[in-house]
Structure 1
Amino acid sequence: MPRPLRVAIVGAGPAGIYAADALLKSEAAVEPGVSIDLFERMPAPFGLIRYGVAPDHPRIKGIITALHQVLDKPQVRLFGNVDYPNDISLDELHSFYDAVIFSTGATADRALAIPGVELDGSYGAADFVSWYDGHPDVPRTWPLEAEKVAVLGVGNVALDVARILAKTAEELLPTEIPANVHEGLKANKALEVHVFGRRGPAQAKFSPMELRELDHSPTIEVIVNPEDIDYDEGSIAERRKNKQTDMVAKTLENWAIRDIGERPHKLFLHFFESPAEILGEDGKVVGLRTERTELDGTGNVKGTGRFTDWDVQSVYRAVGYLSDELPKLPWDVDSGTVPDEGGRVIEAGEHLKSTYVTGWIRRGPIGLIGHTKGDANETVANLLEDHAGGRLRTPAAPEPEAVEAFLGERGVRFTTWQGWYALDAAEKALGEPQGRERVKIVEREDMLKASGA
């Protein structure tokens, strides 16, 4: 008797759920349908949305509503708190599924090769984001003694980090921040936050809306130096062809020409300043040295040999995320991705049978959340082409109950989609007495208990 196409997706963030959605939408072309299991190492789904987006971004977190609709489908199951490869290996996945899609994203900080990164007070932005988003596997406290702080990078993560450091704890209290994060931010001493980019306004990677949101806080004064507003031919061409680039540049221009107001926390956006060294004394950060750069006509920059030392006591490196290497899969060290062709994992020039990738583990941490939809569609289309051509493995135990029994026998305490609803209700119940939508549960054991693992 024919059975549904069985697909495992490792990683239940947006990329993995978009892949599940693409499979469901193609179901009419697959007889007699598809059966999808998502494996997630966290007890809760949603990946980047839950643990990588700042808590004061409810608009972005609203994407969860659309993701919910996918996970609500009867053809989809969630296995949370299941770690690849410690709880289930690639060979074991292949024994249960016709195909495996990896969508594990990127959660680590990309290295920045300048002297002083090892100093006390030098932090990776990803670690700070994990702290304020209540990731269960990071410490519950964060040192916030610095009055002057530097943030390196001009992407949306840098904006998130700068904004969280500059806002007051009370401003963030209406969000879903956990109690330990609120207590930590109450002790935050930062009065000045300096964001540094080595190129100009036309090369900044901010999205226009995220940039404008900086100015919405009643406690944050955003300051741009008029001397940092500069464009060459390459920059002007980029503004003409890219509406978002032009909107970002216009916003920065408007901020550069206005008078500085009286809001207590100052947030400076610096351009044409390339980080050269994090300065230290007795093992601690005492400053940042940058080299002034200038445009070369193409939109790129070159150093001028002029250096400035900035008085800061901590430095946050927001220069990009990096994926963790996945055991049993080929790996490109330079890009931090799994080699692929159209989502098919490629090893020694050949497709690693029945094995696929999508999202940031495939193409690197580039673009906005919604951009992973295109990845998912391409990967799933090629998976289905391989299925139609008889090129997939035949699993030894494709019955849906087989993997459940396997995890049970191995003693894995896994959560389910129904368990997410229980956790969701518990978090909302914690927020209700305070008039908040929810208070995020942080400890892994508490999440497992609330989920009925």
Structure 2
Amino acid sequence: MAYVVTQSCCSDASCVVACPVNCIHPAPGEPGFAEAEMVFIDAETCVGCGACVTACPVGAIVPDTRLREDQRAFVDLAAEYYDVFPHRDRTPVALVPRQRRLRRPGPFRVAVVGAGPAGLYAADELLKHPEIDVEVFERLDVPHGLARFGVAADHVETRRVARLFEQITAQPGLRLHLGVEVGRDVTPEELETRFDAVVHATGAPADRRLGVPGDSLPGVLGATALAEWSNAHPARRDLAAELVAVDGGRAVVIGAGNVALDAARLLVGPMVGAREVLVLGRRGVDAAAFTTPELVGLVGLADPSRPDPVDVLLESGPAPVPEPFPAPGSGVRSRLLTELAQRRPAPGRPRIVLRFDSPVTEVTGGDRARGVRLADGSVVETDLVVGAIGQDWAPVAHQRGRVRPGVYVTGWAKRGPTGFLGTNKACAQETVGALLDDLDAGLGTASSPHAHPSRRVRGLLTGRNSR
């Protein structure tokens, strides 16, 4: 029995470290790690010990004997990867670098602004050093940020990463302030005078506007806002009124990445109840940005054994397989796209239709969005328009996460809205490395040690009637 990875990698690398025979690749330090769509287990060398299953923070690894029929494609994906990258020159176990230790005795206090994945991974890295205490400030009343509000509600496995974040916040050296907004309840300058360093991890971008006439009409919203509504984000409660109009109707999603597919699944599901969701890609299907694992999940929606099957159709031809050296997974991807192009709808089922080479030039309507005009002049009528073309967010200028000694950034504040949840771990490691360099050099924001900085911050917040 071998084990199989069944979704996009979170880039946490816990499974790689846990594997006793080094059969999971690409591993940290290898080309493609943290940028690859997923990691792959080599079926020929996997000994079936299950160590990776225990280590995976999102429950994405299962025995090959327990795969559902719609997950069998992940076996082919792994086989294709090892055909291209055999990894014959293996070391017996994944190499783990020795834990760094600070040269100065401390104690040091670090403030982290933002309790999402980026902030909590940074806190975890800092707490590996007994000389450092960490206080995390979160503007919402609950932590975990995008892991709680930004992950599609039906990605149950990915949402399990919350268990890892709960373990991080339970560490004795961490204090978590919820409902405290930096800039409203306390200023960045006040944090800098009370802590040796401040790490900003506030990746809260706005959905990018479509940039066409009519994109500000009621009935046009962003995919991030839609995902947050589905996860009961307190700032998105008013979207319920917008989504009522879609029940039994049609929605148009503009974009061709993973977020667009997430939005389509959500709209056609029971929370919204659209009859049809049309996903419009500006360029050809070969330029689609969605990952192969997301495509596998989408294809599986039509499985008749599901309690609520959804037709998934493709209205243009499949992507050509690059030659002479196809990328790992391209064969599976091409086969799945060909299958979608050949499907025919079943009467009575809701459906998701993928259409490419269909740039949108205008959102039409008067009081609200009623349709989208395409470049060929045709108009597609719709009850809702969802933009899934990225976020408007300019990263802060930095060097290895250092804005200046004592002030740092990590996550989307550092690199923009890119990567997976686990990408924030490697990002945080680099930022914390720069922070530790500065502490060793005697650089930081605080001019002198503080005996009770947390008490001083708490008193400051209490005096301002902060929650």
Shorter-chain TM-score bucket reads 0.7 to 0.9
Give a deviation string over 1:101-137, Cα, whole Å, max 9, x none.
1111134211221111022222222222222211112
Of 335, 338, 344, 1:250 maps to 335
The verdict on how the C-alpha distance between 1:73 and 1:371 changes in structure 2, with shifts beyond 3 A counting, is same
Name the structure with the higher strand share: 1
Deviation at 1:153, TM superposition (A): 1.0
Q: Measure the CA separation in 2 of the matches of 1:379 and 1:118.
A: 38
The verdict on how the C-alpha distance between 1:404 and 1:2 changes in structure 2, with shifts beyond 3 A counting, is farther
Deviation at 1:21, TM superposition (A): 1.4
Comparing 381-390 with 149-158, which one deviates more in the overlay?
A: 149-158
- Would the aligned equivalents of 2:112 and 2:135 in 1 still touch at CA under 8 Å? yes
Where in structure 2 are the equivalents of 1:51-66 lying within 5 Å? 51-66=149-164
The verdict on how the C-alpha distance between 1:115 and 1:37 changes in structure 2, with shifts beyond 3 A counting, is same
Which residue is equivalent to 2:245? 145
Q: Measure the CA separation in 1 of the matches of 2:235 and 2:322.
A: 45
Gaps of 5+ in 1: 170-184, 292-305, 324-335, 346-351, 414-453
Which residue is equivalent to 2:455? 401
Deviation at 1:206, TM superposition (A): 1.9
Of 371, 375, 378, 2:427 maps to 375
The verdict on how the C-alpha distance between 1:115 and 1:54 changes in structure 2, with shifts beyond 3 A counting, is same
Q: Measure the CA separation in 2 of the matches of 1:107 and 1:101.
A: 18
Which residue is equivalent to 1:229? 318
Give a deviation string over 1:249-288, Cα, whole Å, max 9, x none.
43222211233334510110111211211122x3332221
Comparing 193-202 with 214-223, which one deviates more in the overlay?
A: 214-223
2:326 aligned with 1:240, yes or no? yes
Q: Measure the CA separation in 1 of the matches of 2:463 and 2:330.
A: 54
Which residue is equivalent to 1:109? 207
Over aligned residue pairs, what C-alpha RMSD do you find?
Answer: 2.3
Which 4+ stretches in 1 moved above 6 angstroms? none
2:407 aligned with 1:355, yes or no? yes
Q: Measure the CA separation in 1 of the matches of 2:197 and 2:447.
A: 9
Which residue is equivalent to 1:205? 289
2:358 aligned with 1:273, yes or no? yes
Q: TM-score, normalised by structure 1?
A: 0.73
Of 300, 310, 334, 1:220 maps to 310
2:395 aligned with 1:320, yes or no? no
How many equivalent residue pairs?
Answer: 352
The alignment partner of 2:286 has SS state of helix
Deviation at 1:247, TM superposition (A): 4.3
Equivalent AA in structure 2 for residue 257 of structure 1: Q
- Would the aligned equivalents of 1:207 and 1:244 in 2 still touch at CA under 8 Å? no
Equivalent AA in structure 1 for residue 309 of structure 2: T
The alignment partner of 2:322 has SS state of helix
Deviation at 1:307, TM superposition (A): 4.0
The verdict on how the C-alpha distance between 1:274 and 1:411 changes in structure 2, with shifts beyond 3 A counting, is same
- Would the aligned equivalents of 1:22 and 1:377 in 2 still touch at CA under 8 Å? yes
The alignment partner of 1:250 has SS state of helix
Deviation at 1:20, TM superposition (A): 1.1
Where in structure 2 are the equivalents of 1:389-428 lying within 5 Å? 389-395=441-447, 397=450, 399=452, 400-413=454-467
Equivalent AA in structure 2 for residue 157 of structure 1: V
Which residue is equivalent to 2:5? none
- Would the aligned equivalents of 2:407 and 2:445 in 1 still touch at CA under 8 Å? no
Q: Measure the CA separation in 2 of the matches of 1:96 and 1:151.
A: 46
Deviation at 1:246, TM superposition (A): 5.5
Gaps of 5+ in 2: 1-103
Which residue is equivalent to 2:176? 78
- Would the aligned equivalents of 1:94 and 1:395 in 2 still touch at CA under 8 Å? no
The verdict on how the C-alpha distance between 1:344 and 1:239 changes in structure 2, with shifts beyond 3 A counting, is farther
Name the structure with the higher helix share: 1
The verdict on how the C-alpha distance between 1:268 and 1:322 changes in structure 2, with shifts beyond 3 A counting, is same
Deviation at 1:61, TM superposition (A): 0.6
The verdict on how the C-alpha distance between 1:404 and 1:77 changes in structure 2, with shifts beyond 3 A counting, is same
Deviation at 1:89, TM superposition (A): 0.7
The verdict on how the C-alpha distance between 1:239 and 1:370 changes in structure 2, with shifts beyond 3 A counting, is farther
Which residue is equivalent to 1:134? 232
Equivalent AA in structure 2 for residue 22 of structure 1: E
Equivalent AA in structure 1 for residue 154 of structure 2: D
The verdict on how the C-alpha distance between 1:401 and 1:99 changes in structure 2, with shifts beyond 3 A counting, is same
Q: Measure the CA separation in 2 of the matches of 1:208 and 1:263.
A: 28
- Would the aligned equivalents of 1:106 and 1:365 in 2 still touch at CA under 8 Å? no
Q: Measure the CA separation in 2 of the matches of 1:245 and 1:321.
A: 27
- Would the aligned equivalents of 1:228 and 1:272 in 2 still touch at CA under 8 Å? no
Q: Measure the CA separation in 2 of the matches of 1:94 and 1:249.
A: 53
